[in-house]
Amino acid sequence: MEEFEVELVGKIGSMALICKQDNDIDYNIFRRLSVQFKPGMIWVSSGATEIGRLDYMKRNRGMELTGDIEKIKADYAAQGQSILMETYRRFIPHEYSVRQVLVEHQHFNSPEKREHIRNILLRATQQRAIPIVNYNDPVSSDENRKLELDTLRSNGGDEVVECIDNDETAAVIAELVNARLLLIMTGVDGIFRDPSDPKTLVHEVAGSDPEELESEIKKLQACCNGSSRKGAGGARAKLEYIIPVAKNGTTVIIGNARYTIDDLVSGKVPQTRIGIR
Protein backbone atom coordinates (compact mmCIF):
# COMPACT_ATOMS: atom_id res chain seq x y z
CA MET A 1 0.00 0.00 0.00
CA GLU A 2 1.41 3.38 -1.00
CA GLU A 3 1.44 6.48 1.17
CA PHE A 4 -1.76 8.55 1.00
CA GLU A 5 -1.35 11.56 -1.28
CA VAL A 6 -4.84 13.07 -1.00
CA GLU A 7 -6.97 13.46 2.11
CA LEU A 8 -10.41 12.89 0.59
CA VAL A 9 -12.19 12.09 -2.64
CA GLY A 10 -15.90 12.83 -2.31
CA LYS A 11 -18.85 12.06 -4.54
CA ILE A 12 -22.46 13.22 -4.50
CA GLY A 13 -25.32 11.91 -6.64
CA SER A 14 -27.64 13.94 -8.84
CA MET A 15 -30.81 13.59 -6.80
CA ALA A 16 -29.08 14.67 -3.58
CA LEU A 17 -28.46 18.06 -5.22
CA ILE A 18 -32.09 18.63 -6.18
CA CYS A 19 -34.95 19.91 -4.01
CA LYS A 20 -37.82 17.70 -5.15
CA GLN A 21 -40.52 19.93 -3.65
CA ASP A 22 -39.32 22.95 -5.63
CA ASN A 23 -38.10 21.01 -8.68
CA ASP A 24 -34.94 23.08 -8.49
CA ILE A 25 -31.34 23.08 -7.31
CA ASP A 26 -31.01 22.56 -3.55
CA TYR A 27 -28.80 25.52 -2.77
CA ASN A 28 -28.64 24.56 0.91
CA ILE A 29 -26.93 21.29 0.00
CA PHE A 30 -24.44 23.08 -2.28
CA ARG A 31 -23.64 25.62 0.43
CA ARG A 32 -23.28 23.03 3.20
CA LEU A 33 -20.86 21.01 1.08
CA SER A 34 -18.89 23.78 -0.54
CA VAL A 35 -18.03 25.78 2.55
CA GLN A 36 -16.15 22.73 3.85
CA PHE A 37 -14.07 22.18 0.72
CA LYS A 38 -10.35 22.75 1.14
CA PRO A 39 -7.12 21.83 -0.67
CA GLY A 40 -6.49 18.12 -0.41
CA MET A 41 -10.06 17.31 -1.43
CA ILE A 42 -11.22 16.16 -4.86
CA TRP A 43 -14.95 16.31 -5.51
CA VAL A 44 -16.76 14.11 -8.02
CA SER A 45 -20.17 15.60 -8.73
CA SER A 46 -23.11 14.28 -10.64
CA GLY A 47 -25.97 16.63 -11.43
CA ALA A 48 -25.19 18.31 -14.74
CA THR A 49 -27.83 16.43 -16.72
CA GLU A 50 -30.64 16.88 -14.18
CA ILE A 51 -29.76 20.52 -13.54
CA GLY A 52 -29.68 21.13 -17.30
CA ARG A 53 -33.11 19.52 -17.65
CA LEU A 54 -34.59 21.74 -14.95
CA ASP A 55 -33.00 24.84 -16.43
CA TYR A 56 -34.32 24.02 -19.91
CA MET A 57 -37.84 23.59 -18.50
CA LYS A 58 -37.63 26.94 -16.71
CA ARG A 59 -36.83 28.67 -19.98
CA ASN A 60 -39.39 26.80 -22.07
CA ARG A 61 -42.64 27.01 -20.08
CA GLY A 62 -42.15 23.63 -18.43
CA MET A 63 -41.62 21.78 -21.71
CA GLU A 64 -39.01 19.01 -21.90
CA LEU A 65 -36.97 17.92 -24.89
CA THR A 66 -38.35 15.00 -26.88
CA GLY A 67 -36.75 12.50 -29.22
CA ASP A 68 -33.68 10.29 -28.92
CA ILE A 69 -32.88 9.83 -25.22
CA GLU A 70 -29.11 9.80 -25.72
CA LYS A 71 -29.18 13.11 -27.61
CA ILE A 72 -31.46 14.62 -24.97
CA LYS A 73 -29.11 13.57 -22.16
CA ALA A 74 -26.16 15.11 -24.01
CA ASP A 75 -28.05 18.38 -24.57
CA TYR A 76 -29.17 18.61 -20.96
CA ALA A 77 -25.67 17.83 -19.68
CA ALA A 78 -24.17 20.52 -21.89
CA GLN A 79 -26.68 23.03 -20.52
CA GLY A 80 -26.17 21.97 -16.91
CA GLN A 81 -22.38 21.82 -16.70
CA SER A 82 -21.81 25.56 -16.43
CA ILE A 83 -24.63 25.94 -13.89
CA LEU A 84 -23.20 23.12 -11.77
CA MET A 85 -19.77 24.76 -11.69
CA GLU A 86 -21.19 28.23 -11.12
CA THR A 87 -23.14 26.98 -8.11
CA TYR A 88 -20.12 25.32 -6.53
CA ARG A 89 -18.00 28.44 -7.16
CA ARG A 90 -20.61 30.59 -5.42
CA PHE A 91 -20.11 28.82 -2.09
CA ILE A 92 -16.53 27.46 -2.09
CA PRO A 93 -14.27 29.73 0.03
CA HIS A 94 -12.99 32.44 -2.29
CA GLU A 95 -9.34 32.01 -1.29
CA TYR A 96 -9.38 28.67 -3.14
CA SER A 97 -9.38 28.18 -6.89
CA VAL A 98 -11.98 25.91 -8.49
CA ARG A 99 -11.09 23.70 -11.45
CA GLN A 100 -13.41 21.64 -13.61
CA VAL A 101 -12.02 18.28 -14.73
CA LEU A 102 -14.17 16.43 -17.28
CA VAL A 103 -13.23 12.78 -17.73
CA GLU A 104 -14.25 9.86 -19.93
CA HIS A 105 -13.66 6.13 -19.65
CA GLN A 106 -10.66 6.19 -21.98
CA HIS A 107 -8.78 8.45 -19.56
CA PHE A 108 -8.58 5.56 -17.11
CA ASN A 109 -7.90 2.77 -19.59
CA SER A 110 -4.73 4.31 -21.01
CA PRO A 111 -1.61 4.45 -18.78
CA GLU A 112 -0.57 7.77 -20.30
CA LYS A 113 -3.99 9.38 -19.88
CA ARG A 114 -4.35 7.98 -16.34
CA GLU A 115 -1.06 9.59 -15.39
CA HIS A 116 -2.12 12.87 -16.99
CA ILE A 117 -5.37 12.97 -14.96
CA ARG A 118 -3.53 11.94 -11.80
CA ASN A 119 -1.02 14.78 -12.21
CA ILE A 120 -3.75 17.37 -12.87
CA LEU A 121 -5.52 16.34 -9.66
CA LEU A 122 -2.37 16.21 -7.53
CA ARG A 123 -1.19 19.60 -8.79
CA ALA A 124 -4.54 21.09 -7.84
CA THR A 125 -4.16 19.92 -4.25
CA GLN A 126 -0.73 21.58 -4.12
CA GLN A 127 -1.96 24.82 -5.70
CA ARG A 128 -4.84 25.55 -3.30
CA ALA A 129 -7.38 24.50 -5.91
CA ILE A 130 -10.51 22.34 -5.58
CA PRO A 131 -11.04 19.98 -8.54
CA ILE A 132 -14.68 19.31 -9.43
CA VAL A 133 -14.77 16.14 -11.54
CA ASN A 134 -17.62 14.91 -13.71
CA TYR A 135 -18.03 12.45 -16.55
CA ASN A 136 -18.05 14.32 -19.87
CA ASP A 137 -21.59 13.33 -20.88
CA PRO A 138 -22.10 15.98 -23.59
CA VAL A 139 -19.46 14.44 -25.86
CA SER A 140 -20.10 10.79 -25.03
CA SER A 141 -22.72 8.35 -26.28
CA ASP A 142 -23.56 4.88 -24.97
CA GLU A 143 -23.14 3.32 -28.40
CA ASN A 144 -19.62 4.69 -28.91
CA ARG A 145 -18.64 3.90 -25.34
CA LYS A 146 -19.75 0.27 -25.68
CA LEU A 147 -17.81 -0.12 -28.92
CA GLU A 148 -14.67 1.34 -27.37
CA LEU A 149 -14.99 -0.83 -24.24
CA ASP A 150 -15.54 -3.96 -26.34
CA THR A 151 -12.38 -3.14 -28.28
CA LEU A 152 -10.40 -2.74 -25.07
CA ARG A 153 -11.63 -6.09 -23.77
CA SER A 154 -10.89 -7.86 -27.05
CA ASN A 155 -7.33 -6.55 -26.82
CA GLY A 156 -6.81 -8.29 -23.52
CA GLY A 157 -7.99 -5.69 -21.03
CA ASP A 158 -8.93 -7.67 -17.92
CA GLU A 159 -9.90 -4.72 -15.74
CA VAL A 160 -11.56 -2.20 -18.03
CA VAL A 161 -12.89 0.95 -16.38
CA GLU A 162 -16.36 1.72 -17.75
CA CYS A 163 -17.31 4.86 -15.79
CA ILE A 164 -20.97 3.85 -16.04
CA ASP A 165 -21.71 6.29 -13.24
CA ASN A 166 -19.84 8.63 -10.93
CA ASP A 167 -19.65 6.07 -8.10
CA GLU A 168 -17.21 4.15 -10.26
CA THR A 169 -15.46 7.35 -11.35
CA ALA A 170 -14.94 8.42 -7.74
CA ALA A 171 -13.62 5.00 -6.71
CA VAL A 172 -11.19 4.92 -9.63
CA ILE A 173 -9.95 8.44 -8.84
CA ALA A 174 -9.55 7.63 -5.13
CA GLU A 175 -7.35 4.68 -6.05
CA LEU A 176 -5.48 6.73 -8.64
CA VAL A 177 -4.45 9.44 -6.16
CA ASN A 178 -4.07 7.16 -3.10
CA ALA A 179 -6.77 8.94 -1.09
CA ARG A 180 -7.04 8.38 2.64
CA LEU A 181 -10.83 8.63 2.48
CA LEU A 182 -13.49 8.03 -0.15
CA LEU A 183 -16.80 9.65 0.81
CA ILE A 184 -19.88 8.65 -1.18
CA MET A 185 -22.85 10.86 -0.36
CA THR A 186 -26.32 9.57 -1.22
CA GLY A 187 -29.96 10.13 -0.30
CA VAL A 188 -29.86 7.46 2.46
CA ASP A 189 -27.78 6.84 5.57
CA GLY A 190 -25.66 4.04 4.12
CA ILE A 191 -26.02 0.38 3.17
CA PHE A 192 -28.94 -1.56 4.65
CA ARG A 193 -29.29 -5.34 4.93
CA ASP A 194 -33.01 -4.73 4.39
CA PRO A 195 -33.68 -1.40 2.60
CA SER A 196 -37.24 -1.39 3.96
CA ASP A 197 -36.04 -1.56 7.59
CA PRO A 198 -34.01 1.45 8.84
CA LYS A 199 -32.82 -0.61 11.81
CA THR A 200 -30.70 -2.77 9.50
CA LEU A 201 -28.14 -0.08 8.65
CA VAL A 202 -24.68 -1.66 8.41
CA HIS A 203 -22.40 0.60 10.42
CA GLU A 204 -19.10 -1.09 9.64
CA VAL A 205 -17.59 -3.54 7.19
CA ALA A 206 -14.03 -4.47 8.13
CA GLY A 207 -11.35 -7.07 7.54
CA SER A 208 -7.94 -7.71 9.03
CA ASP A 209 -6.39 -7.80 5.55
CA PRO A 210 -7.48 -6.97 1.97
CA GLU A 211 -8.73 -10.48 1.23
CA GLU A 212 -10.90 -10.68 4.34
CA LEU A 213 -12.28 -7.21 3.64
CA GLU A 214 -13.26 -8.21 0.10
CA SER A 215 -14.99 -11.32 1.46
CA GLU A 216 -17.01 -9.22 3.92
CA ILE A 217 -18.03 -6.77 1.19
CA LYS A 218 -19.16 -9.65 -1.04
CA LYS A 219 -21.32 -11.00 1.81
CA LEU A 220 -23.02 -7.62 2.17
CA GLN A 221 -23.61 -7.39 -1.58
CA ALA A 222 -25.85 -10.43 -1.35
CA CYS A 223 -28.36 -8.30 0.61
CA CYS A 224 -28.43 -5.47 -1.92
CA ASN A 225 -31.03 -5.35 -4.66
CA GLY A 226 -32.44 -2.57 -6.79
CA SER A 227 -31.55 1.11 -7.03
CA SER A 228 -33.06 4.47 -6.19
CA ARG A 229 -33.83 5.45 -9.78
CA LYS A 230 -33.64 4.22 -13.35
CA GLY A 231 -30.07 4.12 -14.59
CA ALA A 232 -28.53 4.06 -11.11
CA GLY A 233 -26.42 1.11 -10.07
CA GLY A 234 -27.67 0.88 -6.49
CA ALA A 235 -25.91 -0.33 -3.37
CA ARG A 236 -24.61 -3.55 -4.92
CA ALA A 237 -22.79 -1.60 -7.64
CA LYS A 238 -21.39 0.91 -5.15
CA LEU A 239 -19.88 -1.93 -3.13
CA GLU A 240 -18.41 -3.52 -6.26
CA TYR A 241 -16.76 -0.28 -7.34
CA ILE A 242 -15.13 0.37 -3.97
CA ILE A 243 -13.54 -3.08 -3.52
CA PRO A 244 -10.19 -2.25 -5.24
CA VAL A 245 -9.70 1.08 -3.48
CA ALA A 246 -10.75 -0.29 -0.07
CA LYS A 247 -8.34 -3.21 -0.47
CA ASN A 248 -5.64 -0.63 -1.20
CA GLY A 249 -6.11 0.91 2.25
CA THR A 250 -8.56 3.75 1.61
CA THR A 251 -11.38 4.02 4.14
CA VAL A 252 -14.76 4.28 2.39
CA ILE A 253 -17.69 6.14 3.97
CA ILE A 254 -21.20 5.89 2.50
CA GLY A 255 -23.62 8.35 4.09
CA ASN A 256 -26.43 10.82 3.68
CA ALA A 257 -25.92 14.12 1.88
CA ARG A 258 -28.04 15.87 4.52
CA TYR A 259 -25.04 15.69 6.88
CA THR A 260 -21.85 17.73 6.70
CA ILE A 261 -18.59 16.33 5.40
CA ASP A 262 -16.97 16.85 8.82
CA ASP A 263 -19.70 14.95 10.65
CA LEU A 264 -19.51 12.04 8.22
CA VAL A 265 -15.72 11.87 8.33
CA SER A 266 -15.63 12.04 12.13
CA GLY A 267 -18.29 9.32 12.44
CA LYS A 268 -20.73 11.51 14.38
CA VAL A 269 -23.71 10.60 12.20
CA PRO A 270 -25.19 7.34 10.81
CA GLN A 271 -23.14 5.87 7.98
CA THR A 272 -21.56 2.72 6.59
CA ARG A 273 -17.78 2.72 7.03
CA ILE A 274 -15.67 0.22 5.13
CA GLY A 275 -11.97 -0.49 5.52
CA ILE A 276 -9.09 -2.61 6.75
CA ARG A 277 -8.83 -2.74 10.54
Burial zone of 88 (CB within 10 Å; 0-12 exposed, 13-18 middle, 19+ buried)? buried
3-state secondary structure of 132: strand
Instruction: Decide: 124 and 130 in contact? Cβ < 8 Å.
Output: yes
Q: What's the predicted TM-score (pTM) here? A: 0.91
User: Cα–Cα distances in Å, from 60 out to 55, 65, 217?
Assistant: 9, 10, 46
Amino acid at 114: R
> Residue ranges of the chain with pLDDT lower than 70?
1-2, 141, 143, 145, 156-158, 225-233
Instruction: Decide: 246 and 254 in contact? Cβ < 8 Å.
Output: no
Query: What is the per-residue pLDDT for 112?
Result: 94
> Dihedral through CA 184, CA 186, CA 189, CA 192, nearest 10?
-90
3-state secondary structure of 272: strand
Query: What is the per-residue pLDDT for 161?
Result: 79
CA distance linking residue 95 with residue 38, whole number of Å: 10
How many Cα neighbours within 13 Å face the side chain of 56?
Answer: 20
> Dihedral through CA 50, CA 51, CA 54, CA 59, nearest 10?
-140
CA distance linking residue 17 with residue 35, whole number of Å: 15
In this structure, whether the domain defined by 6-276 belongs to CATH 3.40.228.10 is answered with: no
Query: What is the per-residue pLDDT for 233?
Result: 54
User: Cα–Cα distances in Å, from 163 out to 1, 120, 251?
Assistant: 24, 19, 21
Give the contacts of 195 (CB within 8 A, at least 6 positions apart).
Answer: 225, 226, 235
